[in-house]
Chain A
Amino acid sequence: MEVTAYKTDMEFFVDMQRCIGCKACEMACAECETNGHESMIHVNYVERAVTIQTTVQVCMHCDNPVCARVCPADAISKDDFGVVHTANTARCIGCSNCVMACPFGVPIKEEKYDMMMKCNMCYDRTSAGKKPMCATVCPSQALFYGTREEISRMRPNSTPVNTFLFGAETVTTKVNIMMPKGSTHLRIH
């Protein structure tokens, strides 16, 4: 973590309306070395009974991560680049506080390991200046990793948004969601 080639001008942009549910990202995610080859990305049907809509969810890497704050074992940390890392294996006690408190439903409790695991933005790759695995394989570019200039050229009618309203709580994140042009936030409730 001390020697790194992390590119601070590169950002993650997610547009879940472009997700076609192909699960290529799930396969790619399992290539991540920092996940120990476990797939951590979520692809799920939104409401299978009434729609075929699927959604894709990576860790949003919150500015003030609820997962880290509710962790009783201080197992989750955020680094200088704003990447919220998966649980420290020596510390995690498998209580699932982070799993249930994350407003985006990201962390996974791996019952077999009695430990929480989550996306850490493919830190083995991003710390070497490369793109996360999922973003390199997404065929519909629901997941895109690049510069702001690149995304604004590709999506002239959209605006990256990183502010989310969950009732009384406002959560800001490192990862952006592509919203209609001019949007400033996404209200979930």
Chain B
Amino acid sequence: MQFSLNKKAALISLVVTVVCVVVSFYGSRKLQNFDPALIAYLFGTLFALFGGIYRYCVWLQRPPTWLYFKRTWQLVFTGQFFVHGWTLIIDAIKNLLFQQFIYPRGKKRWIAHFMLASGCMAAFAITIPLTLGWINFTLDPATALDPGMIKRYNANFFGFKVMSFQLGSALAFFIFHALTWCSWLVIAGAVIFLVRRLTNAGLIASQTFEGDLLPLILLIIISVTGLGLNFSYAFMKGIAYDFMSVTHAISVILFLVWIPFGKFFHIIQRPAQIGAHIYRREGEKKGMAVCPHTGKEFTSQLHVDDLKTVTKELGFDFTLEDGSSHLDYSPEGKRSLLAKAHLKARQENGKLFG
């Protein structure tokens, strides 16, 4: 496979990565709050950021993707900004946070995906700022020195105190074990999906090991070894801690490095669905296209016109002799036209069957 560097994408991703490094340097108060034990994760995160942005930029440069991207923001910023902003937020909650569109595909699928996605997103929200040194925890100095006082812990963001909680409290237990809860969610979701992929005949026929099974196996390894770290010091007197920490680090770094290339890229792609919703809604408001064959509306005129442009950019030309286009016809109209042309050819031959 030939690889050619996309300079525009490389430049944008490099700038974003450098900005992230600078923000992290100052955000961690010149590395004071940076945890050196997380150095390997830091490089994995920076690579994932660079690779993710690079692939996103390359992806955006494809004519149909660019068209949707451009149109979505044009529609959002052309009048009714607040209405669009509101629907954008509602759509994001429904589709990104709750993945509502998966529910009709199967209740069990939705439950599994919701657990997997929530576990992953919560884990990202916790580990990425920790790795970059944006968040750190310190013992409250006011309570630390007095042995009679209940110790309090502070959570700091960019070095500024944002919350405080009592050590030994239920809240402290919940916060310190946040990644444990994430692990259980991911394991439960990934196992349901793995069982589905190993038993569903349709999936068995069309899936690939590296594209569909390996991501689930990797997520399970990450979660199990992550839980193992906690279990090792909580219940096993530290036995196998080194093994767990090394295996966990390797699997997490593999995961991070793989985000831009494999199945996990769909996490970054998914917000485009909201753009497609806005495009459809606004297109319908502007006016519908009517199929010359069926006489019925089938999509927005904006969609038909944009597709004519995009197909031409991609090297297809469906223009007809009279200046109209094959794309002016609805899917049903196109099927009927094919059947009519076939009938005509048979009739001209003198025999309907051959």
Contacts and interface: CB of A to CB of B under 8 A. Distances in A.
Contact of B331 (A17, A66, A99): A99
A42 B335 contact: yes
A118 to B, nearest CB: 11
Nearest to A180: B349
A168 B276 contact: no
A178 B354 contact: yes
B332 interface: yes
A178 B342 CA distance: 9
Contacts of B303: 96, 100
Nearest to B68: A72
A72 B206 contact: no
B159 interface: no
Contacts of A157: 351, 354
User: How big is chain A's contact interface, by range?
Assistant: 35 or more
B336 A46 contact: yes
A188 B310 contact: no
Nearest to A14: B342
B78 interface: no
User: How big is chain B's contact interface, by range?
Assistant: 35 or more
Given A17-B353, A180-B345, A105 B332 contact: yes
B206 A97 contact: no
Given A114-B273, A181-B354, A17 B346 contact: yes
A12 interface: no
Given A53-B343, A186-B345, A85 B206 contact: yes
B269 A123 contact: no
A176 interface: no
Given A70-B64, A167-B321, A105 B333 contact: yes
A100 B304 contact: yes
A105 B62 CA distance: 23
B61 to A, nearest CB: 11
Interface string B311-322: 100101111110
A158 B346 CA distance: 10
A53 B343 CA distance: 10
A158 B349 CA distance: 11
Interface in A159-173: 164, 166-169
B237 interface: no
B202 A70 contact: no
A6 B273 CA distance: 34
A74 interface: yes
A104 B331 CA distance: 7
Interface of B: 59, 62, 64-65, 67-68, 101, 104-105, 200-202, 204-209, 263, 266, 269-270, 272-273, 275-276, 279-280, 293, 298-299, 303-304, 307, 310-311, 314, 316-321, 325-327, 329-343, 345-346, 348-349, 351-354
6 contacts: A17-B353, A34-B206, A70-B314, A99-B299, A168-B318, A186-B341
Given A33-B202, A47-B336, 13 more contacts: A17-B342, A73-B65, A73-B269, A102-B334, A103-B334, A105-B330, A105-B333, A113-B101, A115-B101, A157-B351, A179-B346, A180-B351, A189-B341
